[in-house]
Chains A and B, each alone.
Chain A
Amino acid sequence: MQPRNGLKRRVGLSENASFYLLMVPFVSLFFLFTILPVLVSVILSFFSYDTVSMPTFIGFDNFLRMFTEDEVFPKALVNTLKFAVITGPFGFMLSFILGWFINEFSRGFRSFLSFLFYAPALGGGLTLIWSVAFSADSYGYVNNVLMTLGFTTEPIAWFRNETYNTVILMFVQIWGSMGASFLANISGLQNVSQELYEAGALDGIRTRWHELWYITLPSMKSILLFSAVMQIQASFSVGPTITALAGYPSVNNSVDTLVPHLMDVGTARYEMGYAAALSVFLFAMMAITRVLIGKVLDFFGK
């Protein structure tokens, strides 16, 4: 909004100049600590660089290598997509639905309930508890219960078993994903105007589902975009949780994903150029997904 004509401004600074000033601290530090390193990384993806000798330019060789020489990459790509397609949308919907349910209750109870769901995201190695639960020996809780009930006589090595490990790890991933998007949804729901709900009730909205569709979701549009981006980021970057529980490389690369692969390439084998190319590839996949999601949200938000 430009100041209207004829209105005298009290401060000497023009409105646009003030807005630029507000941006300066964030944007300048962002440029220095994020944009610059990302640019260096993108440039490195066209080089062969072992962190010791001088980088040598090799054009698109790093990108070709993914599909021609790298045996782990195709498997990691498929696994990453599998995790992204399932945990992403599921986590997105769950983080909204839980926030919406919780919003029904009184204030004190609401912060208690949301804590229950946020607890997995508290960090501090809580994820490792699943390695105790799904431990490969009979000390593991799941094996212990199954053996006591007579479902199995031998303990199952859950994370080394290709039939079970993907499902268990997806489940752990979703369990831990009620973080940023979940709390953002809760804070967004606080902001849906009460007058809208009351007006809706007068206009004949009779069920909570109608209320959700006609009032809550449209008011939440911008927060839902935030939540979607956070879920894209989390679901394509699955890896640290998987590595912590199933190790890297996993049995037959059955649950290896792109992030552990590029970490292995970059920080263990010091092939920084190739690791950068993998990052660029991963980024491209997420960016395309983000653009598509934006189109879908625009379509529903007319």
Chain B
Amino acid sequence: MARRAGYKRYTRSTAGNILFFFFLAVAGIFCTLPLIYSVCTAFKPLDELLVFPPRFFVQRPTLENFLQIPALLETLRVPLERYLLNSVFISVVSTVLHIIAASMAAFAFSKSRVKGRTVIFLIIQFSLLYNSTTLGLPQYLIFSGLGMIDTFWVYILPAIPSSMGAFLMKQYMDASIPDTLLDAARIDGAGVFRMYAQLAMPMCKPAWMTLILFSFQSMWSVVPGGTIFKEELKTLPYALSSIAQGGIARAGSAMAATVALMIPTIIVYFVTQSNVMETMSTSGMKD
């Protein structure tokens, strides 16, 4: 930030700064209220959950709701650790494969002149706009034709070609990688794969860091549909969703499960976003 201080004087008025800050503070608190409420509720003892008039904050926080979760899940046929392991495995593998496949394709869409790249890219972009409700049936037929019903593939394979990832990476590469830089790399004898791995990817770190978050978050919340029947292949959100069916007496534990399930996503959020922001200082190297 020190580097920016010199010019900041000219374009930033104090009144404007105060206005911005006020706006952000109000909007930010407002946006976060439901999250704060969830965390508070997860720590509320039963009598506070039912109290009238309703209270927003927790008065006497307790871990009871969290400690009850294992007992509530004893009826499940598979131990809780198995669901957890499944979710971790699916989320990590899909995310890694998605980032690699999407960024490779985006590099070709953005920086090559191969035939058909524009058409394929437009199809990918527009496919985002097709509602997925009626795609379930044909997808089921494809999985069953490939013999993939009741395997981890039904989670992982469709997540790899997620259109949003290729779209974001392509737009980011258009904006951030100057063609002159690639020309310079070509003169140095770099091939396409080296330009992709050693030039494009480091320069697009903010984009794929953000994609890691999107991909992890969506895979972490995956609940198996009609393509998984074996209990030992089902996911953690599926297992925890059974708690919420227990009515008001389990409202506290249901909220505790929700909050616990959110923790990995929040960790991934802060790890990836702090990397997005970090690149600021090094982005001066381009051009």
Contacts and interface: CB of A to CB of B under 8 A. Distances in A.
Whether A and B are associated in the same complex: the answer reads yes
Interface of A: 1-4, 7, 9-11, 13, 15-16, 18-20, 22-23, 25-27, 29-30, 32-38, 40-41, 44, 51, 98, 101-102, 104, 106-108, 110-111, 113-120, 122-127, 129-130, 132, 138-141, 144, 148, 175, 178, 180, 183-184, 186-188, 190-191, 193-195, 197-198, 201, 205-208, 210-211, 219-223, 225-226, 229-230, 232-233, 236-237, 259, 262-263, 266-267, 272, 275-276, 279, 282-283, 286-287, 290
Contacts of A208: 11-13, 16
Contacts of A101: 20, 23-24
B113 A2 contact: yes
Given A188-B175, A222-B174, A279 B287 contact: no
A30 B163 contact: yes
Contact of B131 (A9, A30, A144, A259): A259
Chain A interface helix/strand/loop/mixed: helix
Given A11-B191, A29-B101, A272 B265 contact: no
Interface of B: 1, 3-4, 6-7, 10-13, 16-17, 20, 23-24, 27-29, 31-35, 37-38, 52-54, 56, 100-102, 104-105, 107-109, 111-114, 117, 120, 123-131, 133-135, 137-139, 141-142, 157-158, 160-161, 163-164, 166-168, 171-172, 174-176, 179, 182-183, 186-187, 189, 191-193, 196, 206-207, 209-210, 213-214, 217, 221, 258-259, 261-262, 265-266, 269-270, 273-274, 276-280, 283-284, 286-287
Taking each of B104, B117, B161, B270, which has the highest tally of chain A beta carbons within 10 Å of its own beta carbon? B161
B35 A266 contact: no
Contacts of A51: 137
A107 B280 contact: yes
A225 B174 CA distance: 12
B186 A4 contact: yes
Given A25-B160, A201-B10, A223-B171, 14 more contacts: A1-B113, A11-B191, A13-B191, A23-B117, A25-B101, A27-B120, A35-B123, A51-B137, A107-B277, A138-B53, A180-B164, A207-B11, A230-B164, A272-B137
Contact of A25 (B16, B104, B125, B174): B104
A140 B37 CA distance: 13
A4 B3 CA distance: 39
B210 A184 contact: yes
Nearest to B182: A1
Given A15-B192, A19-B114, A25-B101, A222 B172 contact: yes
A232 B12 contact: no
A101 B18 CA distance: 11
B27 A117 contact: yes
Contact of A30 (B113, B124, B186, B274): B124
Contact of A104 (B20, B113, B142, B192): B20
B219 to A, nearest CB: 12
A209 to B, nearest CB: 9
B207 A187 contact: yes
A179 to B, nearest CB: 8
A37 B145 CA distance: 13
A279 B133 CA distance: 8
A281 B123 CA distance: 17
Contacts of B221: 123-124
A22 B269 contact: no
Taking each of B167, B172, B269, B277, which has the highest tally of chain A beta carbons within 10 Å of its own beta carbon? B277
Given A25-B160, A32-B142, A101-B24, A115 B273 contact: yes
Nearest to A197: B7
A115 B54 contact: no
20 contacts: A1-B179, A19-B108, A22-B193, A23-B109, A101-B24, A110-B277, A111-B276, A111-B277, A115-B273, A116-B28, A119-B32, A125-B258, A139-B52, A186-B273, A195-B287, A197-B4, A220-B175, A223-B171, A229-B125, A263-B133
Contacts of A272: 134, 137
B207 to A, nearest CB: 5
B119 to A, nearest CB: 11
B190 to A, nearest CB: 9
A226 B217 contact: no
A290 B129 CA distance: 9
A267 B226 CA distance: 12
Nearest to B37: A129
Contacts of A140: 54
